[in-house]
Amino acid sequence: MKPTLTYIEDLARRAGEILRSGYGQQHEIGYKGEADLVTEVDHASEVLILGELMRQFPEHRILSEETGEHSGDAEHVWYIDPLDGTLNYAHGMQTFCVSIAYEHGGQLQLAAVYDPMANELFSAERGRGAWLNGEPMRVTNPPSLRESLLVTGFPYDVRTSPRNNFAEFQAFSMRSQGVRRLGSAALDLCYVAAGRLDGYWQLKLSAWDLAAGALLVQEAGGVATGVLGQAEFLAQQNGILAASPALHAEMLAVLQSLA
Ligand code: IPD
Ligand code: CA
Ligand code: CA
């Protein structure tokens, strides 16, 4: 069987149901860093997704946040974030989701991000488009950066690393209508794809945070690159810059001026 959009949409909904039913319960919290948490629900969601993919596609390679790399044919790669927004989740904030992407021959092909609290399924297929609960999505086309609403996130090493996003946050706060900080990279990208937010940047992210959301933005008519315009943003942790083509160019100039 070849992976299809319906297949990953269904998988995202099933994993999202695990997140929804665990929401608001008492959690077993593990610490990967001072502010980098993992709960038993991250693991339960991952067990469901990996079990399903390994049964259906035993030869495929999988990169999944909590268990890392499962080796396989590099022609077929899955990027899994079983719960994106764990810090929100553990605190009882409702901004979180599950994110699944499938890449074939080095190109992202399919994406599904599901927010179970809002019952919003964002999905995309290369060359066919991007949808929110089945309705086509488009990025916005704001007249300029000055009239745009942006979103960003800060890295977990914000207390110790000089690459902490503070200068970028200040620069964009002075040049836009505002900068939001939601706590889920996958949903940040979905909201840009859906036209709720105009642009998103973040300095350090892993492939599982970005893969699905990047395809969603591209299929909704936007541009997704590394923060300095790198075409390669999945494997090399170049962060992400995602927006409509014109806004992307304007934001890129700001990021380059700070690099
Ligand atoms: C995190 C979220 C957050 C971003 C972090 C990610 P997690 O993912 O996407 O918005 O700022 O860099 O690691 O740990 O909740 O899956
Ligand atoms: Ca994540
Ligand atoms: Ca996660």
pTM of the model: 0.97
Using CA positions, which residue lies closest to atom 15 of ligand 1?
Answer: 85
Distance of CA 92 to the CA centre of its chain: 20
Atom number, ligand 1, closest to the C-alpha of residue 155? 12
- The CA distance from 234 to 111, in Å, is 14
Residues near ion ligand 2 (CB < 5 Å) are 81, 84, 209
CATH number of 145-258: 3.40.190.80
Tell me the per-residue pLDDT of 169-188, one tens digit each, with 9 for 90 and over: 999 999 999 999 999 999 99
The CATH architecture one would assign to domain 5-136 is 2-Layer Sandwich (3.30)
Residue in 64, 190, 209, 240 to alter for ligand 1 test, most ligand atoms within 8 A of Cβ: 209
- Rounded Cα distance between 243 and 245, Å, is 6
**For 226-244, how does the pLDDT look when each residue is reduced to its tens digit (9 = 90+)?**
999 999 999 888 899 999 9
Q: CB of 39 closer than 6 A to ligand 1?
A: no
Each residue's pLDDT, cut to its tens digit, for the chain (259 residues) gives: 899 999 999 999 999 999 999 999 888 888 988 778 889 999 999 999 999 999 999 999 999 999 999 999 999 999 999 999 999 999 999 999 999 999 999 999 999 999 999 999 999 999 999 999 999 999 999 999 999 999 999 988 888 888 899 999 999 999 999 999 999 999 999 999 999 999 999 999 999 999 999 999 999 999 999 999 999 999 888 899 999 999 999 999 999 999 9
Q: Give the residue extent of every domain in the chain.
A: 5-136, 145-258
